[in-house]
């Protein structure tokens, strides 16, 4: 689970994210879309003209520990996420940060991110919870590249627990300001299809994770 960085987030931030599994905090949020048992809410951000998103749902055939591993496994993400052009961990000023270069459709420039994340396995309300919090980090150790737009306003959290059966119950919060000269209406329109599409793709990736691990093990044995 490379890329974990301790100390970026407080205990309270983790606890607040985990609380959403039982008591979703959607006061003031707009119910945006619902598909295949997944509910998505959004909140308008006046500063950027964009929306934050909260996602609640279940994966009925994937346990939460597998979801967490898929979420954290950068090597695997490069296989299942076609938008990930570059993705790796870089040590910056004594801290492990993640560099992420995302393919954007022509004629838009690609976006890149430098962010830190923290992973915890927690006990809450008598059950085990897997939680990941992430946010963009500015550092001179990773200068901006020509032909790319650096995303400096990025937040994401993901919290998972058992659904009491064979699957997972999950909460995600997401905000991403891609910057550049993209009209805000276009970004918000793209999010309406992009967020659900990402969840569908990740669900498929979770189901395929055991096969990826077997393939990786076989390659290591043969090398």
State the pLDDT confidence band at 1, using cuts at 50, 70 and 90: very low
Question: Residue 88: which CATH number?
Answer: 3.30.530.20
Domain annotation covers residue 154: yes
Is the pLDDT confidence value at 6 over 70?
A: no
Strands 50-59 and 95-102, sheet pairing:
unpaired
State the pLDDT confidence band at 211, using cuts at 50, 70 and 90: very high
Domain annotation covers residue 1: no
Is the pLDDT confidence value at 101 over 90?
A: yes
Domain annotation covers residue 51: yes
Domain annotation covers residue 6: no
C-alpha distances (whole Å) from 121 to each of 68, 80, 155, 160, 186 are: 9, 24, 20, 10, 37
Mean pLDDT of the residues in the chain = 90
Domain that holds residue 209: 11-222
Domain annotation covers residue 141: yes
* DSSP label at residue 28: T
Total number of domains constituting the chain: 1
Domain annotation covers residue 3: no
Domain annotation covers residue 189: yes
Q: What is the pLDDT of residues 128-169, one digit of tens each?
A: 999 999 999 999 999 999 999 999 999 999 999 999 999 999
What was the pLDDT predicted at 219? 87
Q: What is the pLDDT of residues 10-33, one digit of tens each?
A: 999 999 999 999 999 999 999 988
Domain annotation covers residue 98: yes
Q: Which residue has the higher pLDDT, 80 or 180?
A: 80
Is the pLDDT confidence value at 74 over 80?
A: yes
Beta bridge mates, 158: 132, 172
């Amino acid at each position: 689970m490379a890329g974990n960085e301790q100390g970026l987030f407080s205990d309270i931030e983790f606890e607040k994210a985990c609380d959403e599994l039982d008591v979703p905090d959607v006061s003031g949020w707009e119910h945006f879309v619902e598909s295949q048992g997944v509910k998505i809410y959004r909140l308008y951000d006046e500063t950027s003209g964009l929306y934050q998103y909260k996602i609640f749902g279940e994966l009925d055939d994937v346990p939460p520990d597998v979801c967490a591993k898929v979420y954290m496994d950068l090597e695997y993400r490069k296989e299942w996420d076609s938008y990930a052009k570059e993705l790796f961990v870089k040590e910056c000023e004594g801290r492990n940060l993640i560099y992420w270069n995302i393919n954007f459709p022509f004629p838009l420039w690609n976006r890149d991110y430098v962010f830190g994340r923290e992973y915890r396995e927690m006990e809450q309300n008598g059950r085990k919870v897997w939680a990941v919090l992430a946010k963009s980090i500015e550092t001179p150790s990773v200068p901006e590249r020509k032909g790319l737009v650096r995303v400096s306003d990025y937040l994401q959290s993901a919290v998972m627990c058992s659904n009491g059966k064979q699957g997972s119950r999950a909460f995600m919060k997401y905000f991403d300001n891609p910057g550049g000269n993209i009209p805000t209406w276009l970004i918000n329109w793209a999010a309406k299809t992009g967020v659900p599409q990402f969840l569908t793709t990740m669900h498929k990736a979770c189901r395929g994770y055991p096969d990826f691990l077997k393939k990786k093990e076989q390659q290591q044995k043969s090398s």
